[in-house]
Amino acid sequence: METKPRILIIDDEEVVLDSCSQILKGSGYQLEIADNGVRGVELVQEFQPDLVFVDLKMPGISGFEVLEKVREIDATIVTVVITGFATVSSAVDAMKKGAYDFLPKPFTPDEFRMIARRGIERRRLMLETIALRREKELLREQFASIVSHELKAPLGAVQQNLFALDLELEQTLTSSQKIKMERIMVRIAELLKLINSWLRVISVDINKLKDGFTQLSITKPVSNALESVAALAERKNIEIVSSINAELPPILGDAISLAEVFVNILSNSIKYSPDGTRVVLNAGVQGQNLVTSIQDAGIGISPEDLPHIFEGFFRGKSGQAMAGHGIGLAVARQIVDAHHGSISATSELGKGTTFLVTLPIFVKD
């Protein structure tokens, strides 16, 4: 059985409350009334209305305040303001602040019924939209699990068997056969990596990271990241110079995912820099924040591309020549966001790029 739509009317004039109750009697709505703002707000909590009529001019807390409170409690509740003719302009103000409609006094029963019906319809649509959005989210999660089961698991099984085969044939294969074998395994490893990074983007609720936040020094994720990219840097003969020391104030966060942030930025710095150049890491206090900078002398990012590099699945002109998926920086940004920090980049084509990771300093309370 469908529940009856709920309407709340908040007005200090008894006549208005009475006539509204009268009009809506028997029309399939559940009705509550309040003769002042404070009681009205209480009822919003208890009664959980779909639609609230609010008189703008009441003694005590004003209609505007009530509107604001309603929105704080549940932004999907539809509000309609009741006003006298003289105060139509304040009705406009109210609608600018999110009221859906207004009901001018005096009103006929038909006018009131119509506005009530429209308000209820509006609420229904809002809830439906939210439900649809949720459904989409579920589908997204579903998609992630399909990707992991139907794609990743078989590929993993293939790779596992290749590993075994490679081991068993160690003494048998010629060197050119070994090279082919190696090529297959490398390509599969790359595919697995790609699937992992997709999954990372679509399935991981980065906000859940917050449950595991601890007080830590930025040196931990930075040095973990440096370790991770060391081989990559060596291959390109790029020297990474870090002047980050342990003296810095602590931050609150998740060391593993922060390391991922730095790995993603650093591997770009290496990837998009010519051989033999330097990457410079620095960190310092700026106000309430700890700012870490990663500066490269690479190919740079064009001004058109720069605003988009954190968006996800975006590959700049500079990126197109290289292997990549346009995911690293999007993930980095999500992680930094979850830490209540920010990430930004400045760049000059042909000169290099500097990334800044800003994280709030941990304060004991």
Partner 1 sequence: MTKRLLMIDDDPDFVSGIKAILDTGGFEVDVAYNPKDGLAALQTKQYDLLLLDIMMGRGAEGIMIARKLRKDARLRELPVLILTGMREQIAFLFPGEPIHPRFVEIDELVEKPVEPKLLLEKVNSLIAAAETKKAGRK
* Binding residues for ligand ADP (CB under 6 A): 264, 268-269, 272, 296, 298-301, 309, 314-316, 318-319, 324-330, 353
Structure token digits, residue 126? 């809002």
Helices 255-271 and 219-235: angle between axes, nearest 10 degrees: 30
Nearer to ligand ADP, 102 or 272 (CB): 272
Nearer to partner 1, 195 or 361 (CB): 195
- Which of the listed partners (ligand ADP, partner 1, none) does 263 bind, with a CB threshold of 5 to 8 Å by partner kind? partner 1
Residue whose pair of structure tokens reads 């700890």 in the numeric block: 290
Q: What are phi and psi of 113, to 5 degrees?
A: -60, -40
Peptide bond into 106 cis (omega under 30): yes
Structure token digits, residue 48? 């959980």
- Which of the listed partners (partner 1, ligand ADP, none) does 259 bind, with a CB threshold of 5 to 8 Å by partner kind? partner 1
Q: d(Cα 234, Cα 22) in Å, to the nearest integer?
A: 82
- Which of the listed partners (partner 1, ligand ADP, none) does 328 bind, with a CB threshold of 5 to 8 Å by partner kind? ligand ADP
Residues of the shown chain interacting with partner 1 in the complex, contacts defined by CB under 8 A: 148, 152-154, 156-168, 192, 196, 199-200, 203-204, 224, 227-228, 256-257, 259-260, 263
The answer to whether the beta carbons of residues 21 and 50 sit under 8 Å apart is: no
- Which of the listed partners (ligand ADP, partner 1, none) does 324 bind, with a CB threshold of 5 to 8 Å by partner kind? ligand ADP
Nearer to ligand ADP, 83 or 295 (CB): 295
The three-point CA angle 324-315-255 to 5° equals 60
Give 340's contacts (C-beta < 8 A, 6+ positions apart).
359, 360
Distance in Å, CB of 314 to ligand ADP, minimum: 6
Dihedral (Cα; 49, 54, 58, 64), 10-degree rounding:
100
Nearer to ligand ADP, 107 or 314 (CB): 314
Q: Within 13 Å and on the Cβ side, how many CA atoms surround 301?
A: 24
Distance in Å, CB of 165 to partner 1, minimum: 8
- Which of the listed partners (ligand ADP, partner 1, none) does 5 bind, with a CB threshold of 5 to 8 Å by partner kind? none
Q: d(Cα 154, Cα 211) in Å, to the nearest integer?
A: 33
- Which of the listed partners (partner 1, ligand ADP, none) does 319 bind, with a CB threshold of 5 to 8 Å by partner kind? ligand ADP
- Which of the listed partners (ligand ADP, partner 1, none) does 301 bind, with a CB threshold of 5 to 8 Å by partner kind? ligand ADP
Q: Within 13 Å and on the Cβ side, how many CA atoms surround 12?
A: 13
Distance in Å, CB of 252 to ligand ADP, minimum: 25
The three-point CA angle 6-9-15 to 5° equals 135
Nearer to partner 1, 251 or 259 (CB): 259
Structure token digits, residue 328? 């690293």
Distance in Å, CB of 222 to ligand ADP, minimum: 17
Distance in Å, CB of 59 to ligand ADP, minimum: 58
Nearer to ligand ADP, 52 or 309 (CB): 309
Structure token digits, residue 49? 């209305």
Nearer to partner 1, 23 or 335 (CB): 335
